[in-house]
Each structure stands twice: as C-alpha cells, then as structure tokens.
C-alpha cells in the first residue's frame, strides 16, 4: 500500500517534495536528489515532461526514487499519450512498484522545446482520474474489458489551481475530480495567501476537505524577478505584490525566500482542511531540509 496514503490515514501533516527529471538519460541525478530529500519528505513528485520539455520519463524517474528507498509520486499528463498508452504505462509503473499517481492535463506543447509536435489529449485529467479508479476498483480497462488479475492499485492524486479562472468554478471542478476518484490534491504554488484562504473556505463549504487530502503547494522564491516573472507571464498564477516588494527589499533574497516559505507553512497548518504541504523546489532541492527544519516538520514520522 502507498506509504503516502498511510501517512494521511494516520492523521499526519504530510510533506512532499519534487524532483524534475533531467534532460538526459542520467538516472544518477534523480537518485541523488531523491536521496537528499527522502529523510525530510514523505513523498517525491516526479514531473512528466513539465512545460512540455523532453525529459527522462516520470515512470523511470519514479523507479530511481524507489531504488533510493523513497516514495515516488508519479505525475501523468494527458498531453503525450492516448488511452492505450496511458493504461499501459499505469500497468507498467505499478508493476515496478510505483504506488502514487498524480493526474494532470499537462502544459500545452507550445511552451516546450518541441512546439511543432501534435498533442494527444485523447482523455482529459478528470477522465484520467476516473480511468485509474476504475482500473483499481472495478478492475476494468476503459473499454470495459476486465483486468483478470494484478490490477494496478494506485493512490490517486490530482491538482487544483485556486489562482486560475473562473475562480467560482475552481472549487466545483475540484469536486468533480474528487467525485471522479481523486484521493489527494496538490495545489498550484501559493504566492497569494488571501486567494488560497478564500479557496479553502469554499472547499470547506462544499465539504471537500472531508473527502480528499488537500496539500498546499509551495515554492520557495530565489529572487524578486522570479516572482515578478510568474506574476506577469505564467498563466494561472497569482503573485501578491507585497511578496515581490518583500523580496526586492531583502538583503539576502534566498534567505528571505526560505523565510517566506517557512512562514507560509506555519500559516497553512492553521487553515482548517489542509492536510499537508507540497514543496516545489525544483533546481533548489537542497533547500528543502532547511525549510522542513525551520517549519518544525522534522523529524518525519516513521510508519511501522
């Protein structure tokens, strides 16, 4: 059974990290980052060709994480494979010991390094969640055919973006994902706490916090420019002006970024319904232990 699921069920405030697989066949770098994180987090996300840039596959990366003794959360998008490829990869990943899957639409291919490629989007993220659930609970492929034995029994995750529009629909769309079978949720990184709190209030109104484990997404900032860039250029992102100002004024921006992240975690722990944090420090994995330490998240509980 998924260790992540056990942690949630044990009532722990769960912490996950993230590793972006390399643009090469270097498995060592994944193992290196995983080994760095394992002691400080309960799971490690492996992104699936994020921003549509070709990278080592999330399945293979998840296996590298397993080899270090870590708990992989394999991301799977709908951009690059049809329902045949998706179900085949789910079987393959589970056969290799991967127990957690995070279902997403995937960034449009025009963002990446193969802008002339053809996207797939045979099924969407909500249909993907449904597919993973049906394979597990109904032992059925999408076509209705029975999975006779060894059905994949994934712990199913989804994402939610409280910062995209239409805002009023965001909570209802999360509800659709949960109804489809999502058991845990990771949000887009929070750089506008006010909006996130508004989102959580609506989540509680619909009782969704009782139906799935909601994890707040966080990203430690390195510079005010990174924050300003995201505010201006990343679709579906909201960045509070105060945050940019604070980073601008900081004598040591990186330290300030960590400080902000730690404050956010402490604040988030007080928000009813939030069951964990997902720290996205891609290309800055080594900072996660310090954040976890300062936020009082250590030592991570060991499950027997």
Partner 1 sequence: MIVAEQKPLVEIAERIKEANKVLIVGCSMCVTVCLAGGEKEVGVLAAALRLLRAQTGRSLETVEYTATRQCDQEYLEAMAKIVTPDIDLIISMACGVGVQYVAERFDQWTIPALNTKLIGGTLEHGVWEERCGLCGDCVLHKTGGICPIIRCSKSILNGPCGGSQNGKCEISPTTPCAWQLIYDKMAKLGKLEALLTIEPVKDWSKARDGGPRRVVKEDVAL
Q: Residue numbers of the site for partner 1 (CB under 8 A)?
A: 78-79, 83, 105-108, 110-111, 119, 121-127, 130-131, 142, 159-161, 163-166, 169, 172-173, 175-176, 179-180, 188, 235-237
* Partner residues linked to 74 by β-bridges: 46, 101
Query: Minimum Å distance from CB 181 to partner 1?
Result: 10
Q: What is the 3-state secondary structure (H, E, C) of 127-183?
A: HHHHHHHHHHHHCECCCCCECCCCCCCCEEEEEECCCCCCHHHHHHHHHHHHHHCCC
Q: Please name the residue ranges forming H helices in the chain.
A: 3-9, 27-37, 58-67, 83-95, 125-133, 167-180, 193-205, 224-233, 241-249, 253-268, 288-294
**CB closer to partner 1, 68 vs 119:** 119
**CB closer to partner 1, 100 vs 186:** 186
Query: Minimum Å distance from CB 6 to partner 1?
Result: 28
Backbone phi, psi, residue 275, to 5°:
-105, 5
Query: Minimum Å distance from CB 291 to partner 1?
Result: 24
**CB closer to partner 1, 13 vs 163:** 163
**CB closer to partner 1, 118 vs 304:** 118
Cα–Cα distance measured from residue 84 to residue 141, given in angstroms and rounded to the nearest whole number: 10
Query: Minimum Å distance from CB 12 to partner 1?
Result: 27
Query: Minimum Å distance from CB 84 to partner 1?
Result: 12
**CB closer to partner 1, 16 vs 188:** 188
From the centroid of its chain, how far is CA 289? 18
């Amino acid at each position: 059974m998924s260790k992540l699921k056990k942690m949630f069920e044990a009532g722990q405030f769960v912490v996950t990290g993230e590793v972006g697989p390399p643009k090469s066949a270097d498995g060592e770098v994944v193992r290196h980052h995983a080994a760095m994180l394992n002691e400080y987090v309960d799971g490690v996300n492996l992104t699936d060709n994020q921003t549509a840039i070709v990278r080592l596959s999330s399945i293979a990366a998840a296996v590298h994480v397993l080899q270090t003794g870590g708990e992989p959360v394999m991301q799977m998008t709908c951009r690059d494979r049809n329902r045949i490829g998706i179900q085949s990869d789910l079987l393959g990943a589970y056969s290799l010991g991967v127990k957690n899957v995070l279902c997403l639409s995937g960034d449009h291919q025009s963002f990446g390094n193969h802008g002339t490629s053809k996207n797939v989007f045979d099924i969407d993220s909500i249909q993907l969640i449904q597919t993973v659930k049906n394979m597990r609970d109904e032992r059925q492929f999408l076509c209705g055919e029975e999975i006779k034995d060894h059905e994949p029994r994934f712990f199913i995750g989804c994402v939610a973006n409280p910062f995209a529009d239409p805002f009023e629909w965001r909570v209802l769309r999360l509800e659709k994902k949960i109804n489809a079978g999502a058991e845990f949720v990771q949000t887009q990184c929070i750089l506008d706490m006010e909006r996130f709190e508004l989102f959580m209030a609506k989540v509680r109104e619909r009782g969704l916090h009782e139906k799935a484990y909601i994890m707040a997404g966080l990203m430690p900032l390195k510079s005010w420019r990174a924050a300003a860039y995201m505010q201006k250029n990343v679709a579906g992102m909201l960045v509070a002006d105060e945050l940019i100002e604070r980073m601008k004024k900081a004598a040591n921006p990186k330290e300030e970024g960590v400080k902000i992240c730690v404050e956010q975690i402490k604040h988030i722990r007080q928000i009813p319904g939030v069951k964990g944090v997902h720290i996205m420090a891609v290309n800055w994995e080594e900072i996660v232990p310090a954040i976890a330490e300062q936020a009082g998240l250590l030592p991570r509980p060991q499950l027997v």
